[in-house]
C-alpha cells in the first residue's frame, strides 16, 4: 500500500514535511525550511527504514530549549500516518 503525507510542523524552523510510504517503508522524505544540513541528512537516513523504526529512533528528540525538533516532528507525522491506516 502506498501513502503520501504532507505534515505541517509545529514549533520548528521547518514548515512542512512530505513523506512517501510503501508497504510500511519510507521511500521518500523532504522538509520545507529548516537547517538544510540537518533536514537533508535526516531525510536521507530514514529512506528505506520501516516507519515503526523511524518513530522509535526520532521521537522525543529536542532542539535546544524547544520541546520538539525536526526529527521529532517527522516522528509525529509518521505516527499520524499509522493512525490513519
Instruction: Tell me the pLDDT tens digit for each residue of 19-76.
Output: 999 999 999 999 999 999 999 999 999 999 999 999 999 999 999 999 999 999 999 9
Distance of CA 58 to the CA centre of its chain: 8
Sketch the domain layout of the chain as residue ranges. Answer: 2-84
What is 2-84's CATH number?
A: 3.30.390
The structure's pTM equals 0.96
What is the SS3 assignment for the chain?
CEEEEEEECCCCCEEEEEEEEECCEEEEEEEEECCHHHHHHHHHHHCCCEHHHHHHHHCCCCCCCCCCCHHHHHHHHHHHHHHHC
- Give yes or no for residue 85 having a pLDDT over 80: no
Amino acid at each position: 500500500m502506498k501513502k503520501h503525507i504532507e505534515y505541517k510542523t509545529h514549533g520548528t524552523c521547518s514548515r512542512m514535511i512530505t513523506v512517501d510510504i510503501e508497504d510500511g517503508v519510507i521511500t521518500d522524505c523532504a522538509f520545507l525550511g529548516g537547517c538544510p544540513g540537518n533536514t537533508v541528512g535526516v531525510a536521507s537516513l530514514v529512506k528505506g527504514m520501516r516507519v515503526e523504526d523511524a518513530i522509535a529512533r526520532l521521537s522525543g528528540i529536542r532542539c535546544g530549549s524547544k520541546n520538539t525538533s525536526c526529527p521529532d516532528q517527522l516522528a509525529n507525522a509518521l505516527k499520524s500516518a499509522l493512525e490513519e491506516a
